[in-house]
Amino acid sequence: MNYIENKVYFITGASGGIGKATAVTLLESGGKVFDFSRRRKLTDTVTHDNLRSFQGDVTSEADVAAGFAACVAVFGTVDVLVNNAGIGLLTTDLSETDLETYEKMVNVNMKGVFLCNREALRIMKPRQQGHIISVISMGGQRTNANAPVYCASKFGARGLSSGLADQAIRLGIKVTDVNPGPTDSDYWGDRKVPREKFLKTEDVARVIRFVLNQPPEVLIREINFDNIKFLAG
């Protein structure tokens, strides 16, 4: 059975990477996708009757509220929120990390998730149903000497999601953390990393589709996964 069809998916950061792969997968499965992205619009590269784009910043309370209002105006509701927008900046030497870098990661990776969760809940609570998925990454499960601030922001997002899950379950709203290991995307830029051992964005999209394509009574609270080649070293 297809539990994805005809539902409305609000996806942050859907113009590229994991977000774009997820949006395309859900559109192919019969879903309606609302792309909320800051720099680019998914509709610039993907054409579909059930796709709309909105340019906004997840760290802006006004932008987030306007984005959700626009989604409801177009599609009538929000059935699923996929918190995908995120940022990672190298902070190898914490003593040399400036406050701007710290605040940028915390604002996007934590504040952005908070703002989107809050707006989604305001739509989902009266209906006593919905699903909030946060793409947190394994950076919220294990620390990394080359990215202490990034990991801290992801641990924080995971804590927020865990607390929300305890509240939301009593309302019939599902909350799931999707934690992929390193994934090959534009995020890495020109860094010298073993991309051949990383997950593909399509791998993550398939996992998200699996989580969503479950019966209403089935909740996958958290799912962790890596490319086996990466784990093997």
**Contact 35/11 with Cβ under 8 angstroms?**
yes
The dihedrals phi and psi of 133, each to the nearest 5 degrees, come to -115, 130
Q: What is the pLDDT of residues 139-198, one digit of tens each?
A: 777 777 778 898 999 999 999 999 999 999 999 999 999 999 888 877 666 777 767 878
pTM above 0.85, yes or no: yes
pLDDT digit string, tens, across residues 41-64: 899 999 999 999 999 999 999 999
Instruction: Give me the catalytic one of 7, 20, 111, 154.
Output: 154
20 is catalytic: no
- Which amino acid does the sequence have at 156? G
Per-domain residue ranges of the chain: 8-232
Higher-pLDDT residue of 29, 138: 29
Q: Which fold has domain 8-232?
A: Rossmann fold (3.40.50)
Q: What percent of the chain has pLDDT over 90?
A: 76
For residue 133, give both structure tokens.
């998925």
Q: Is 192 a catalytic residue?
A: no
List beta partners, residue 178: 135, 223
The residues, any chain, with a CB within 8 Å of residue 230's CB and separated by 6 or more, are: 181, 182, 194, 197, 198, 199
* Candidate list 111, 150, 161, 174, residue with the active-site label: 150
Active-site position among 137, 153, 161, 185:
137
Can you give the pLDDT at residue 187? 66
Tell me whether residue 150 is one of the annotated catalytic residues: yes
